[in-house]
Structure 1
Amino acid sequence: MTRRPCAFRQQDVTRAVRGAKKAGIDLARIEIAQDGKIVLVAENGGTTEEPNDLDRELEEFEARHGKN
């Protein structure tokens, strides 16, 4: 029986946690599905997923040009 390659990397989890902390979200736990989907569960019971590419681009743009 062969093992499948890992669907996520440590840096993916680290990036998601850093983003949540930067957004002011206190995490209760992190869930990782077999397909590699990372779900961050906030202490207050809400959930948030790892930011997508568009969120990252917006964050980089705002860092360079400031928020309006």
Structure 2
Amino acid sequence: MDDKTFAGKGTNIIVGRLEVYNTTNVTKNSDGSYKDSRPVGAAIYRGNNISKPSMILTKQVIQNILNRNGK
């Protein structure tokens, strides 16, 4: 977490993996590649509470919103 960068901002949106890396959610395959089972989405941080997101949107939720609004 980059507290200094986000501290003075009102709203921060971070897009990418929604969980911290660990040996249970990222594993190495026999061919040397990696399997990453962490969900993808967007985490929204508001105000001074930068340690816990106020809202999390998974990739599927974002796709549903875009599909619904695109009709």
What TM bracket, shorter-length normalisation?
under 0.3
TM-score by length of 2: 0.25
Q: Which structure has more helix as a fraction of its residues?
A: 1
TM-score by length of 1: 0.25
Q: Which has the higher contact order (CA 8 A, sep 6+)?
A: 2
